[in-house]
Each structure stands twice: as structure tokens, then as C-alpha cells.
Amino acid sequence: MTASGGNVIQGTFDEGRPGWLGGLGNVRNVVRQEMISRQLARHLHRRPARVLDVGAGQGTQSIRLAAAGHEVLAVEPDPQLRAAFAAALANEPADVRARVSLRAGALGGLASVTHGDRFDVVLLLGVMMYLPSSEPVIAELAAHVATGGMLALAVRTTSSALWRPAARQDWLGTLAAFEEYDAANAQRRDMRYLNEIGAAARADRFDALVAAAAAHGLALEDWYGIRIAVDPEELDPPPPSDPATLAALLAVEERLGSTDPYRQLGQLAHLILRQAPPSI
């Protein structure tokens, strides 16, 4: 996400904002949001939890968590996304609205928004790929995770950046992705690509993310793939109108996303990282 002022981290999402907002009702986002909600629910041990949603976007996960009874501080730097979030929140019951606090803010300056508070759950969902690097982001987020709490990251990995064009039988695009992957390894940098909403983006190595989290006391509890079978083509249609078909689609994606080897082919990897209690 792009923001200005202070030491905030500059991102590349602005280029893709129109495509993102235009596709919120289509199948990719419907599957993504539902899978993330189900996966988070498996790991929410404390109820109600205090949640920090960083780069909260249009507010889908913040609002769902508040509807489930959790207290949410949502931080979003983009004014247009905050407006979409506020509009969606205005349609919720009063008790849900009361459990959400939406603030302007960005990575690199979270402490000025959170006042250094720690949270049971910290979310960074679909943001990391727009940021220059992951390690300083993980360090900042880890500082906001309470003892025993969790950090959830939804990221694009090198595996998904390579598999996506191959799954679409874009052979020239796949070879170009492998060339970029090899160049990134040779130059000891992250792989770069142009994503489906037209924004310049970056792919993380899964093992490097886990290692960076471990350096800040966060251990991998589990991880999931998101959008495995639903995303083989560039087209992003509306979700199935038949409720039974939509339910079946979501059930298939949920099963694939939690099962090897299929989860490794997800277009996003959803990592659940747990802050270990201090040694006695």
C-alpha cells in the first residue's frame, strides 16, 4: 500500500487499485475471503480476541471478525479503500460497528496508530507482495503480537508466481517467469512479477518467510493454499449463482487448500504464525 510521511513503507498497490475494487464481487475474491475466514477461525483460540488488521482494505475480514464478536483495530493507508470499508461497515448492525475502529495508518508507522499495543491476532492479508521486502514488515508486526498470539500472512510465493502462467498454459509467460526466478536467485533478490490487477508485485520464498518470522519469536503453526482449482484462467467471472454449486466450490477449495501437495499450488499462501510464550 502507498502512504506518505514519516518512515512509512512505500508500496505499489496504487497501480492495481481500480482492478481490485472492480473485482470484489467476482469469484477470485469471494473464494479468497471465504477461505481466509474459515482458516482463521481454526486458529482463533481466544474469544473475544483483540485483532489488528493491517492494510485492511475494503474491510471484509475486519467486519467478519467483528460480527463474530472480536474487537478489531483496522489500519488502512488508502483513502479510497477506507471509504469502501466505511461504506460496508455502515450497513452492519450497531454492535458490529461498535467493535471496529478504522484508522488511517501504514506499515513503518504502526506504533503511532496502535500506541504500542499488542494484539491476540495480527493480520496482513494480501499486502506483502506490494512492499519492497518482508523482513522489516515481519519485525514490525511481530512487535504487536501478544504472548501466545498469532500473526496471519497471506502472501504470493515463488511457487505460485511460477505455477500461475503454467496453469493457464501461457508457455512464453511461464518461461519468462522461470527466467526472472533464476535471475532473482543469482542476484540474491526477490522475484518480481506483474499481477492480475496490473500492479508490480514481489514473490516471497516460503522458507525465507518462515525463517524471518522465527527470528522474531513466531513459529509456523500451519499454512494453507488459497485459490487452487478456481483460478486456471485469466477470466474472473462472478461466482456460481446456484447456492449448492457455490457451496461445493468452496468446500473443494477448502479441502485442497489444507492438503499436500495441492495447497502448494495455491495462488496465495496463508501462514499462521504463533508467538511462543517466554521460557520459564
Angle made by CA atoms 184, 191, 181, in degrees to the nearest 5:
55
Residue 45: partners with Cβ closer than 8 Å, 6 or more residues away: 148
| All three cell numbers of 100 | 471496529
| All three cell numbers of 21 | 475494487
The predicted model scores a pTM of: 0.92
Please tell me the predicted confidence (pLDDT) of residue 167: 87
CA gap 176, 196 in Å, rounded: 16
- pLDDT of 232 over the 70 cut: no
Please tell me the predicted confidence (pLDDT) of residue 106: 94
- pLDDT of 241 over the 70 cut: yes
Name the one residue in this structure whose C-alpha cell is 521486502.
Answer: 133
Mean pLDDT of 243-252: 94
Please tell me the predicted confidence (pLDDT) of residue 152: 98
CA gap 266, 61 in Å, rounded: 19
pLDDT band at 3 (very low <50, low <70, confident <90, very high): very low
Please tell me the predicted confidence (pLDDT) of residue 73: 98
Mean pLDDT of 21-38: 92
Distances (CA, A) of 123 to 51, 55, 242: 8, 8, 32
Summarize pLDDT for 78-121 with one digit per residue, the tens. 999 999 999 999 999 999 999 999 999 999 999 999 999 999 99
Q: Which residues pair with 219 in a beta bridge?
A: 274
High-pLDDT (> 90) share of the chain, %: 79
- pLDDT of 196 over the 90 cut: no
CA gap 265, 126 in Å, rounded: 16
Give the Cβ contact number of residue 183 at 10 Å: 12
Following CA atoms 191, 195, 199, 201 in sequence, which dihedral angle do they give, to the nearest 10 degrees? -20
- pLDDT of 233 over the 70 cut: no
- pLDDT of 279 over the 60 cut: no
Mean pLDDT of 59-88: 97
| All three cell numbers of 136 | 522489516
3-state helix, strand, coil in the chain (%, to 5): 45, 20, 35
- pLDDT of 278 over the 90 cut: no
Of the given ranges (55-64, 84-93, 160-169), which has the lowest mean pLDDT? 160-169
Structural domains present in the chain: 13-275 (3.40.50.150)
Please tell me the predicted confidence (pLDDT) of residue 16: 85
**Stronger pLDDT, 5 or 90, i.e. the higher one:** 90
Mean pLDDT over the full length of the chain: 92
CA gap 161, 195 in Å, rounded: 9
